[in-house]
Structure 1
Amino acid sequence: MPQKSLSTKEESILIEKATLHLKWLYPGAKAVADKPVLVFLHDSLGCIKLWRDFPEQLAKATGCSALVYDRQGYGESSPFQSIKRGQDYLEREADVLEQLLEQLQVTKAILFGHSDGGSIALIAAAKYKSRIAGIITEGAHVFVEEVTLAGIRAAVTAYQTTNLPEKLQKYHGDKTDDVFHAWADTWLSENFRNWNIEHYLPSIRCPVLVIQGEADEYGTQAQVEAIETQVQGPAQQLLIPEIGHSPHREAKYVVLSQSAAFIKAILL
């Protein structure tokens, strides 16, 4: 049965000279020792608060403890050292995740990654097999598509002409410009056109649930097919009609129920 109560704890931790802000969610008074921890990896403009109550709902539905954190540069974590990113910036974030879980003594994790967070989850599952029991990706990318670039160009226009900066400032404060340009400038640069992480996929042995909206403005079903067909662990896809890049917000209860079922199967 789903847990009725949830306790929370917020803390900060130092990883590679950056202070990362964390939020723990416990389906009871303390961590659940015999189950993997659900770890939520936000998108390229996201943070803990932008997940809203989705992590809480999934923790309650599965009885698992959950960890949500702001990557460096986002939310309440330390600012970026530089907004200039190399092609390996997502690989570096997977390494930071491994250090974070090691320091927190999380020996088994199930990752839920949205967009950039989904790509990080894939890399982490490939590189750190013993720690990752399963992954759920949502709008993840494994290569660059023209629709991705078109979506980012549209976001740049919105950032220049609408109140999008003010909306993001509620979550990122004076880091907002850096958050936006670290994402947009990197993906629209010429040297990022050949970015590709498909070579990691055959090293993934854990169960994988690949979620994507059929109307995703940043990627096509080719991303889903690439992931599902190349990972070596059991994989399934969830394509949701008329939904864009954020299924956990646009089709919350579908994503919640399917994710919970996927996690419970791992727990058996």
Structure 2
Amino acid sequence: MHNPAAGTIAASANTSSANSFVELPATASHGPLRIEYRWLNEAAANAPLAVFLHEGLGSIEMWRDWPQALCERLGMRGLVYSRPGYGRSTPRPHEVKWPIDFMTAQARDILPALLDALDISVSGRQQMWVIGHSDGGSIALLYSALYPDALAGVVVIAPHVFVEDISVESIAQTKHLYETTDLRSRLARYHADVDSAFYGWNDIWLNPAFRQWTMTAELSSIRQPLLAIQGHDDNYGTMAQIDTIAAHVPHARLVRLDACGHSPHRDAPEKLNEAIAAFVLR
């Protein structure tokens, strides 16, 4: 089920951080890739593993210290990485547009290849929790549907399972801000090629063909414990997202956070950590 190519691991030259890089070989779906990653609590080799999947404009650094704090709370080790096109991972060539099924490709091809390259065993994956935010939440859902025996459970925060008007409107507004304010320079601190990161995400979400994208059919394949979290003040999605998850995954647990927008790990970290800990540790 997983890509058998193991890749080659190399330490980052940046000694001021714990980030490293792994080389993934080319496959039918992508060329050779260099993926930026970081271990959390790496010495706790026998602890369950939490794999963090960032949002559409995210990266390792944009998580800040939240993954570490959550791993400490859960008694887990963690893995954070920047998907291709983000952070210091291989940038998206500017002439390449993400396909409509770009999130499926991340769940089906990139994440399994990364786990293989990092020698995360089958038994290790059975103790693994995938925690995703926004686009990363959608990828986490798709991964759990594709590989139902490969992990212990799933936590998704502000995920997308279909395209809403509010999402498209907010993403169009973000494009305006990127092109007219200092947003580009602020994001440039987190991405080696900020235009690659921004327009890869922005172009696909504003592509009229993407309005028909949905992953609701895949949801019924999810068998693992699943927690879905949404803020009431999210300007990128409504409660219809997690309600749709519950309609297709009857065992899913939903948490709705008051006074919280699209990024609960920044807007309401204590409430978020409490909800995740109560779910995972029970």
What is the TM-score of this pair, normalised by structure 2? 0.86
Larger helix percent: 1
Partner of 1:24: 39
Inter-partner Cα distance in structure 1 for 2:270 and 2:234: 18
Q: Retained in 1: the 8 A contact 2:85–2:200?
A: no
Secondary structure of the corresponding residue to residue 200 of structure 1: helix
Partner of 2:254: 237
Partner of 2:89: 77
User: Residues 200-258 of structure 1: CA distance to partner in whole angstroms, max 9, x if unpaired?
Assistant: 100000011111111110111110101122125x3111111121100111001111111
Give matches, 1:16-55, under 5 Å: 16=26, 17-26=32-41, 30-33=43-46, 35-55=47-67
Q: 40-49 vs 15-24, which deviates more?
A: 15-24
Give matches, 1:120-131, under 5 Å: 120-131=139-150
* 1:93 CA displacement: 0.5
Give matches, 1:63-142, under 5 Å: 63-81=75-93, 83-95=96-108, 96-106=110-120, 107-108=124-125, 109-142=128-161
Q: Aligned-pair RMSD on alpha carbons?
A: 1.4
Equivalent residue letter for 1:10:
N
Q: How many matched pairs? A: 253
Inter-partner Cα distance in structure 2 for 1:21 and 1:242: 33
Residue 11 (structure 1) aligned with residue 20 (structure 2): yes
Residue 250 (structure 1) aligned with residue 267 (structure 2): yes
Partner of 1:4: none
Inter-partner Cα distance in structure 2 for 1:14 and 1:159: 31
Partner of 1:205: 223
Inter-partner Cα distance in structure 1 for 2:86 and 2:245: 27
Gaps of 5+ in 1: 1-7
Residue 217 (structure 1) aligned with residue 217 (structure 2): no
User: Residues 140-172 of structure 1: CA distance to partner in whole angstroms, max 9, x if unpaired?
Assistant: 001011111111111111112211000000011
Equivalent residue letter for 2:21:
S
Equivalent residue letter for 2:87:
G
Equivalent residue letter for 2:129:
I
Q: Retained in 2: the 8 A contact 1:113–1:138?
A: yes
Q: Retained in 2: the 8 A contact 1:83–1:181?
A: no
Secondary structure of the corresponding residue to residue 177 of structure 1: helix
Q: Retained in 2: the 8 A contact 1:98–1:128?
A: no
User: Residues 49-102 of structure 1: CA distance to partner in whole angstroms, max 9, x if unpaired?
Assistant: 111111111111111110000111111111114540111100111121112112
Inter-partner Cα distance in structure 2 for 1:36 and 1:62: 9
In structure 2, which of residues 178, 181, 186 is the aligned counterpart of residue 167 of structure 1? 186
Secondary structure of the corresponding residue to residue 132 of structure 1: coil
Inter-partner Cα distance in structure 1 for 2:151 and 2:136: 15
* 1:9 CA displacement: 4.6
Inter-partner Cα distance in structure 1 for 2:175 and 2:82: 23
Inter-partner Cα distance in structure 2 for 1:12 and 1:37: 19
Secondary structure of the corresponding residue to residue 203 of structure 1: coil
Inter-partner Cα distance in structure 2 for 1:239 and 1:261: 14
* 1:23 CA displacement: 0.3
